[in-house]
Amino acid sequence: MTHAPLNAAQIDALQAFAADYGRGWKAKLSDVYWYNARIWRDPRGDPESQAGYVLHGLRNSHGPSWLMGFKLPPR
């Protein structure tokens, strides 16, 4: 299945999550947040941050199998 390319907000949300969880970020995102349909709250971010909602949208549009093959672009 081909997925739509990621936009800047989606990449930023993934990078923020990865920075928060380190090396095992994909497993944490998939197993804890996506499997249980939870919304992640960036502990360092702005209270108005939409990163958790952006990640939830990626869960619905791209899914966990896509995530395992995804590589973050360099910052």
% residues pLDDT > 90 (the chain): 72
pLDDT in tens, 22-58: 999 999 999 999 998 888 887 776 666 789 999 999 9
Residue among 4, 1, 14 nearest 73 (CA): 14
Residue 37: both structure tokens together: 């349909």
Residue 12: both structure tokens together: 């930023």
In this structure, are residues 9 and 52 in contact, taking their beta carbons and an 8 Å threshold?
A: no
Q: Quick check: 59 pLDDT over 70? A: yes
> If you average pLDDT over every residue of the chain, what do you get?
90
* Cα Rg of the chain (Å, integer): 11
Domain ranges of the chain: 7-49
1 or 52: which carries more pLDDT confidence? 52
> d(Cα 46, Cα 37) in Å, to the nearest integer?
22
**Rounded to two decimals, what is the model's pTM?**
0.88
